[in-house]
C-alpha cells in the first residue's frame, strides 16, 4: 500500500506574501547556484545568432524553437563527435584486444571525465552512465532504496516530474516506506516553510527538483541540505532542467546524488547521468545484473565490480556518452554569466508580454527571481494543445502542451494542462516576438484564428 503524506489544502490554497521584483546590484548565490540580478551583467552580451548558426536543426529561419526543456537541439560539434566515433572507433568498451576497442575505451573514459568536470565531482568514478534522467532516478530508488526499511521516509515535493515521483511511490508500495510531500506556494515555488515539520527522524532521503520543468522555479538547495543534515538524511537533486543552464558544482551544493539527461544538454538522446558520492555508491547493490558489471562469477558466488561499472550492466550507451561529453565541451565554451543575463532578459519579456494579455494566466512565478527560462501559461477557453498547434502553423513557434509529466503540479493550479515555452542560449528576441504575436492574435480572435490554422493554409513561408 502506498502511504503518501500530502497536505492537500496547503498545496492548492497556500497563502504567501507576493514577491515584488527588486533591482539588485550583483548576483545572488544559493548554494553554488548563481542567479543573476534583475538588471543582468553589465557590459556582457551574448551573440545568440552566432550560437544558433552552430545548430543544423535551427537552420530554418522561420522556426522559433521554444521546446528545449523537452529536448534541446544539437550543435555541429556533437554531431561530428558522434560521426567520428561511429566511423573510426565503433567497438565495445569491454576488453582491449584490438585498436578499435582501445579507441572506444579511451573515448568512453574521457566522456566520463568530462561529465565529472562539468559537475565538479571529486572523481570520474562517481559518474554512472544511464539511459536518461528517468533511469538514473529509478536506479537510485532501487539500489539506495534497498537499504530502506518499512516506516522509513522519503521526502519529495509537489513540483516533481513524474520521474522523481513515481519511483518513490513504487518503492513505498514494494517496501512499505512512507513518501512525504512538500507543498508549493501559490506562485509555484517549493514551500520550504514545511521542511521542519515534514523532515523527521525517520527521513532517510530527500529527492527534489533542482529547477521545475513547469514553473521554472529554482530550489533553495542550501536550506534543504541543512534540514537533511540535521535529520541524518541524504539529498538527491533532479537536475534535468538545471544542467542545461551551465556547469553544476555538486561539492559546493553539498548534495549526495545528482541526476540529469543528455538530450536536454545539447547532446544525444538515450544518455543520462547519476552522480553519487563514492562512499554511498560503494554501499549500494546493483540495479541490473548481467555482463561486465562483475569481478567474478562462480556457481557458488558472485562478486560485483566497484562503481561505476557495478551500475552499468551490459553494453553501455557508448556513443551517447561520447556525444554527451562533446556537448559538455561545447557548453564549456560559453560565457555563462552572459547566457544567464540574456536568458533572464528574454524571460522577463515573455512574462511581461503574457501578463499584459487578457485571459492569459502565467503558471509559476511572475518575475525572474530565482527562476529559469521555463514559462508556462494557460489561455481561458482555449486548450493548450490548440494554442501550440496554432502557434506552430501560423507563426512557426515550436512549444509543448499538456501536463509536462507533472500532472499533480499542473492540476494543483486548477487547469487541465498548460502551454510551455522554454529558452536556450540559441534563442533571441525574434523567438519571443513570434510567440507573443501569436498569443495576442489568439486573444483577439480565438475562433477565427484557430479555424484558419490548417496545415494547407500555413502562413509561414517555406525555405527556398
CATH of the domain at 263: 3.40.640.10
Number of domains in the chain: 2
Segment 213-217 shows an average pLDDT of 98
pLDDT over threshold 80, residue 446: no
Same domain, 252 and 395: no
Which sign does the torsion angle of CA 127, 232, 30, 411 carry? Answer: positive
Residues 198 and 312 in one domain: yes
Which of 332, 359, 375 is the endpoint of a domain?
332
Cβ contact 412:60 at 8 Å: no
Integer distance in angstroms from the first to the last C-alpha of the chain? 60
> Residue 322: in which H helix or E strand, if any?
helix 318-332
Are residues 190 and 137 located together in one domain of the fold?
yes
Q: Is 304 contained in some domain?
A: yes
Rounded Cα gap, residues 120 and 106, in angstroms: 21
List, in sequence order, the alpha helices (H) in 128-254: 133-143, 166-175, 195-198, 221-231, 250-253
Would the pLDDT of 12 be above 50? no
pTM of this structure: 0.89
**pLDDT of the residue at 237:** 98
276 DSSP β-pair partners? 257
Q: How far apart are CA 337 and CA 156, in angstroms?
A: 30
State whether 270 and 346 are in the same domain: no
Domain assignment of residue 39, yes or no: no
Residues 49 and 82 in one domain: no
Element (H, E) at 361: strand 360-363
Name which of 335, 322, 165, 163 is nearest 247 in CA terms.
335
What's residue 124's pLDDT?
A: 98
Q: What angle do CA 69, 120, 82 make, to 5 degrees?
A: 55
Average pLDDT, rounded, for the chain: 89
Work out whether strand 272-276 and strand 127-130 pair parallel, antiparallel, or are unpaired. Answer: antiparallel
- Band of pLDDT at residue 462, cut at 50, 70 and 90: very low
**Residue 456: burial class (beta carbons within 10 Å; 0-12, 13-18, 19+):** exposed
Q: Which domain holds residue 388?
A: 44-73+335-457
pLDDT of residue 341: 96
Residue 63 has pLDDT above 60, yes or no: yes
Do residues 243 and 326 share a domain? yes
Could you report the per-residue pLDDT of 297-326, keeping only the tens digit for each? 999 999 999 999 999 999 999 999 999 999
Q: For residue 47, what pLDDT is reported?
A: 95
* End-of-domain residue from the set 332, 363, 380: 332
Structure confidence at residue 161 (pLDDT): 98
User: Active site includes 203?
Assistant: no
Quote the cell numbers at residue 92. Answer: 565495445
| Domain contains 324 | yes
Same-domain status, 252 and 265: yes
Examine residue 404 and state whether it is found in any structural domain, yes or no.
yes
342 and 224 assigned to the same domain? no
Say if residue 199 is in the same domain as residue 142: yes
- Which CATH number characterizes residue 63's domain? 3.90.1150.10
Q: Are residues 282 and 423 in the same domain?
A: no
Residue 454: predicted pLDDT:
65
Instruction: Report phi then psi at 404, rounded to 5.
Output: 55, 40
pLDDT in tens, 39-49: 334 446 899 99
| The last residue of a domain, from among 332, 355, 371 | 332
Amino acid at each position: 500500500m502506498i502511504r503518501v503524506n500530502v497536505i492537500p489544502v496547503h498545496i492548492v490554497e497556500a497563502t504567501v506574501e507576493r514577491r515584488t521584483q527588486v533591482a539588485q546590484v550583483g548576483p545572488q548565490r544559493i548554494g553554488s547556484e548563481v542567479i543573476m540580478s534583475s538588471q543582468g551583467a553589465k557590459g556582457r552580451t551574448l551573440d545568440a545568432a552566432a550560437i544558433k548558426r552552430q545548430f543544423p536543426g535551427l537552420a530554418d529561419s522561420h522556426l522559433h524553437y521554444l521546446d528545449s526543456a523537452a529536448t534541446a537541439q544539437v550543435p555541429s560539434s556533437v554531431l561530428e563527435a558522434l560521426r567520428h566515433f561511429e566511423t573510426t572507433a565503433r567497438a565495445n568498451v569491454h576488453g582491449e584486444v584490438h585498436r578499435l576497442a582501445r579507441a572506444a575505451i579511451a573515448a568512453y573514459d574521457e566522456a566520463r571525465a568530462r561529465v565529472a568536470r562539468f559537475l565538479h565531482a571529486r572523481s570520474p568514478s562517481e559518474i554512472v552512465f544511464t539511459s536518461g534522467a528517468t533511469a538514473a532516478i529509478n536506479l537510485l530508488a532501487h539500489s539506495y532504496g534497498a537499504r530502506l526499511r518499512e516506516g522509513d521516509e522519503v521526502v519529495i515535493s509537489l513540483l516533481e516530474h513524474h520521474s522523481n515521483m513515481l519511483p518513490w511511490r513504487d518503492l513505498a508500495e514494494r517496501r512499505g516506506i512512507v513518501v512525504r510531500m512538500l507543498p508549493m506556494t501559490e506562485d509555484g515555488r517549493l514551500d520550504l516553510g514545511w521542511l521542519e515539520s515534514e523532515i523527521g527522524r525517520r527521513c532517510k532521503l530527500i529527492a527534489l527538483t533542482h529547477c521545475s520543468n513547469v514553473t521554472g522555479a529554482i530550489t533553495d538547495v542550501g536550506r534543504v541540505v541543512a534540514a537533511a543534515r540535521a535529520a541524518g538524511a541524504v539529498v538527491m537533486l533532479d537536475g534535468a532542467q538545471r544542467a542545461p543552464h551551465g556547469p553544476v558544482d555538486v561539492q559546493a551544493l553539498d548534495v549526495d546524488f545528482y541526476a540529469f539527461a543528455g538530450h536536454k544538454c545539447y547532446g544525444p538522446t538515450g544518455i543520462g547521468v547519476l552522480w553519487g558520492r563514492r562512499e554511498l555508491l560503494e554501499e549500494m547493490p546493483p540495479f541490473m545484473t548481467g555482463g561486465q558489471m562483475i569481478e567474478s562469477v562462480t556457481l557458488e558466488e558472485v562478486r560485483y565490480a566497484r562503481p561505476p561499472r557495478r551500475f552499468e550492466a551490459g553494453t553501455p550507451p557508448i556513443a551517447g556518452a561520447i556525444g554527451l561529453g562533446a556537448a559538455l565541451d561545447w557548453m564549456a565554451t560559453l560565457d555563462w554569466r552572459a547566457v544567464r543575463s540574456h536568458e533572464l532578459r528574454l524571460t522577463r519579456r515573455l512574462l511581461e508580454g503574457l501578463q499584459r494579455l487578457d485571459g492569459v494566466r502565467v503558471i509559476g512565478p511572475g518575475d525572474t527571481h530565482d527562476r529559469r527560462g521555463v514559462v508556462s501559461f494557460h489561455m481561458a477557453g482555449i486548450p493548450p494543445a490548440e494554442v501550440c498547434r496554432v502557434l506552430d502553423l501560423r507563426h512557426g513557434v515550436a512549444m509543448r502542451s499538456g501536463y509536462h509529466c507533472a500532472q499533480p503540479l499542473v492540476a494543483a493550479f486548477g487547469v487541465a494542462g498548460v502551454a510551455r515555452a522554454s529558452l536556450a542560449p540559441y534563442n533571441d528576441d525574434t523567438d519571443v516576438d513570434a510567440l507573443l504575436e501569436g498569443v495576442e492574435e489568439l486573444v483577439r480572435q480565438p475562433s477565427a484564428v484557430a479555424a484558419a490554422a490548417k496545415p494547407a493554409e500555413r502562413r509561414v513561408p517555406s525555405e527556398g
